[in-house]
Amino acid sequence: MLAFAVRRTGQIALTLLLLLLGTFAVLRAAPGGPAPVLLGADYWSPEREAAINESLGLDRPLPVQLVLWGRAVLVGDFGYSYFHRRPAADVVAERIAPTLVLGLVAWVLSLVVGVGLGMLAAHRQGSLLDRAISACGVLALSTPTFWLGIVLIVVFAAWLNVLPSAGLVTIGNEDSLADKAWHLILPALTLAAANGATLVLYTRAATLEVLGADFVRTAHAKGLGRRIVALRHVLRNAAIPIATVAGLSLAHLLEGSLVVETVFAWPGIGHLTVSSVARRDFPVLMVIALVVGCIVVATTFLTDVVYRWLDPRLGYE
Residues 130 and 118: beta-carbon distance below 8 Å: no
Instruction: Note the pLDDT of residue 317.
Output: 54
pLDDT tens by residue, the chain, 317 residues: 667 667 777 888 888 888 888 888 888 877 878 888 888 878 888 888 889 888 888 888 888 988 888 898 888 888 999 988 899 999 999 999 999 999 999 999 999 999 999 989 998 888 999 999 999 999 999 999 999 999 999 999 999 999 998 888 888 787 788 888 999 999 999 999 989 999 999 999 988 888 777 777 777 677 676 777 776 767 777 777 888 888 878 777 776 788 899 999 999 998 899 899 988 899 999 999 999 888 888 888 887 777 777 666 665 55
Sign of the torsion angle spanned by Cα atoms 273, 279, 285, 287: negative
Return all residues near 295 (Cβ < 8 A) that are at least 6 apart.
251, 254
The span from the CA of 88 to the CA of 77, in Å, is 9
Instruction: Note the pLDDT of residue 46.
Output: 85
Instruction: Note the pLDDT of residue 8.
Output: 73
| Residue 180 vs residues 127, 139, 267: alpha-carbon distances, Å | 40, 29, 12
Structure pTM? 0.86
The span from the CA of 236 to the CA of 157, in Å, is 41
Cα 255 from chain centroid (whole Å): 5
Residues 279 and 34: beta-carbon distance below 8 Å: yes
How many residues are given for the chain?
317
Does CATH place domain 99-278 in 1.10.3720.10? yes
Return all residues near 206 (Cβ < 8 A) that are at least 6 apart.
118, 238, 241, 242
Instruction: Note the pLDDT of residue 308.
Output: 73
